[in-house]
Amino acid sequence: MLDTVFQEPFVSYYKSLLVRPGSFKNTLVFVSKTRKPIVLYALILFPLIGIFVELCFEDLEWATSNLHHLSMFAPFELVFVLILLRIQNWKIPEGTEYLIFAISFASLGILFYFHLERSEFDVSIHTHLCYIIIGVVVSTLFELAHLKSILAALTRCFFIIANGAYFFVAAELLHPVFPNDPESFDDHSEEMIKLVPVYFAWTMIFSLVVLFRVGSFQFRKFQKLRTDKSYHLFTDSAYACNERVSLLCK
């Protein structure tokens, strides 16, 4: 599912190079209206599940944490619904998805900034997460201003990968799956706090490697198509926007 989202900028870019150089234009709409958007339906379902869980299972220790989590899920539901309406040919102003996407991550960052348990270790973990979220917001707005730039699209993809990867890191640090002796865990120790930026740095490196691997896979795939001269079968309908038609029709 995730590779479908992250590979689309590469796919669209390489298609434009093969069929009509200079025609690349990125979009957040990553599904086709000619096929059933199963991935999009799943993405619409996930925030609803999160909202349902927060409404039904109250955190007895800190009731407002449920409201925090619910507020994180709700804006993303709107993003995916907008994308669904877009592929169903609703007349939505161009760039609306980008703005709502950026606003969703901005609200996520604000909520995480105040979503703390007040130990210095916890603050450090959430602060580094906010750095990544700021990167997502800035890169999304930058991409909106430069829709024909593949670098803008890949920058957004990089920060989204980093955001997802760092969630796993933060979860393991705060709530380890296989915890050591609880008495040996001290979230106030300088050693634990100093490890957070180390994990953050390696998360950045890991995200860059993932993006490189996705791009190299697509590059080899399209190099083969170029060699076979079978790219005349391409259309640019993968995103299925009204203004995007077959590259071979013009």
Q: What is the pLDDT of residue 161?
A: 93
State the residue range of the domain holding 10. Answer: 2-177+187-245
* Residue 44 covered by a domain: yes
Distance, in Å, from the CA atom of 241 to the CA atom of 244, rounded to the nearest integer, reads 5
* Residue 42 covered by a domain: yes
* Residue 28 covered by a domain: yes
Query: At 242, is the secondary structure helix, strand, or coil?
Result: coil
The tens place of each residue's pLDDT in the chain, 250 residues long, gives 444 566 778 777 777 777 777 777 887 776 665 567 788 888 889 888 888 887 777 655 555 666 777 788 888 888 889 888 888 888 888 888 899 999 999 999 988 888 766 678 888 898 999 999 999 999 999 999 998 888 999 999 999 999 999 999 998 888 777 766 555 556 667 788 888 999 999 999 999 999 999 888 888 888 777 776 655 555 444 433 333 433 333 3
Contact 37, 77 (CB under 8 A): no
- Nearest CA to 16 out of 243, 241, 242, 238 is that of 238
* Residue 172 covered by a domain: yes
* Residue 182 covered by a domain: no
* Residue 239 covered by a domain: yes
Specify the residue for token string 């590979």. 7
Number of compact structural domains in the chain: 1
Distance, in Å, from the CA atom of 171 to the CA atom of 177, rounded to the nearest integer, reads 9
Token couple for 237: 């309908």
* Residue 250 covered by a domain: no
Whether the model clears a pTM of 0.75, i.e. scores above it, the answer is: yes
Distance, in Å, from the CA atom of 215 to the CA atom of 205, rounded to the nearest integer, reads 15
81-122 pLDDT tens trace: 988 888 888 888 888 889 999 999 999 998 888 876 667 888
